[in-house]
C-alpha cells in the first residue's frame, strides 16, 4: 500500500547544534527574484550586525531537490525555513501547502515562517486574504509581509527574520522559545 505521503521526501531537522555557532536558513519561493532579494537582505543585515553565529542561506525553488542533494553530500541541519509566497500568482497557497508538507513536523514548530513577499495590497492579491489567514492559522505559522522589491522593506524584513530566528532557536538563552 503506497501513497503519495509515503513517497514524499521530507526535509530533516538535525537541530541547530549540528554545527556549532552556525545557523542554516532555507529561502524557498516560486520566484527567483524574491529568493535572491530575501537571501541578499539576510546576508547584508547579518554581515553588518554583531551576531555571535554565522549564517548560511540556501536558496531553492523546491525543498525536495535541496533534501535530495543534502542526502547525497551528507545530512545538513536546516535550522529555519522561509516560505516566501508571491501572492500575485493564483496557485501560491497550493504551492505553499506542498512545500510545507515537505518539512519535518519537528522543524515546523516555530522554525518555519511565511512571508508575503510580493507586497501586493489585499485587494490586488491573486489569492483571498481570508484563505491566506485561515491557512496561516490552521498550520500555526507566523506570517510577515513586506515588499521585497523595495530595498528598505527587504532590509526591515531581514532584521525581523533574524530576530525571529534568534528567539525561536534560542541563540541568547540556549533554550528554544516555542511560544513566540
pLDDT reported for residue 128: 79
pLDDT tens-digit series, residues 129-170: 788 888 888 888 888 888 999 999 999 999 999 998 888 877
pTM exceeds 0.85, yes or no = no
| Residue 88 or 37, more confident | 37
Q: Could you state, in order of their start, the residue ranges of all structural domains in the chain?
A: 9-168
pLDDT reported for residue 91: 82
Q: What is the mean pLDDT of the chain?
A: 80
Query: What integer is the mean pLDDT of 67-88?
Result: 79
Query: What integer is the mean pLDDT of 118-134?
Result: 78
Our measurement of the distance from residue 137's CA atom to the centroid of its chain's CA atoms, rounded to an integer in Å, reads: 16
Instruction: Give yes or no for residue 87 having a pLDDT over 50.
Output: yes
Query: What integer is the mean pLDDT of 11-17?
Result: 51
How is the beta sheet containing 112-116 ordered, strand by strand?
54-60, 22-29, 80-85, 112-116, 142-145
CB-CB contact of 23 with 54 (8 Å): yes
pLDDT reported for residue 51: 85
Choices 3.40.50.300, 3.40.50.2300, 3.30.470.20, 3.30.565.10: CATH for 9-168:
3.40.50.300
pLDDT reported for residue 46: 94
Query: What integer is the mean pLDDT of 23-45?
Result: 92
| Residue 57 or 179, more confident | 57
Amino acid at each position: 500500500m503506497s501513497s503519495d505521503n509515503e513517497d514524499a521526501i521530507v526535509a530533516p531537522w538535525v537541530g541547530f547544534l549540528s554545527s556549532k555557532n552556525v545557523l542554516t536558513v532555507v529561502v524557498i519561493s516560486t520566484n527567483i527574484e524574491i529568493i535572491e532579494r530575501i537571501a541578499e537582505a539576510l546576508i547584508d543585515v547579518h554581515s553588518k550586525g554583531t551576531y555571535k553565529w554565522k549564517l548560511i542561506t540556501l536558496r531553492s525553488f523546491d525543498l525536495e531537490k535541496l533534501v535530495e542533494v543534502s542526502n547525497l553530500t551528507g545530512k545538513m541541519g536546516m535550522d529555519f525555513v522561509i516560505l516566501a509566497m508571491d501572492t500575485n500568482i493564483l496557485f501560491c497557497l497550493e504551492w505553499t501547502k506542498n512545500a510545507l508538507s515537505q518539512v519535518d513536523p519537528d522543524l515546523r514548530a516555530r522554525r518555519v515562517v511565511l512571508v508575503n513577499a510580493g507586497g501586493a495590497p489585499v485587494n490586488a492579491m491573486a489569492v483571498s486574504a481570508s484563505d491566506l489567514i485561515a491557512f496561516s492559522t490552521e498550520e500555526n505559522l507566523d506570517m510577515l509581509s513586506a515588499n521585497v522589491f523595495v530595498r528598505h522593506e527587504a532590509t526591515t524584513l531581514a532584521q525581523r527574520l533574524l530576530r525571529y530566528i534568534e528567539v525561536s532557536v534560542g541563540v541568547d538563552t540556549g533554550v528554544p522559545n516555542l511560544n513566540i
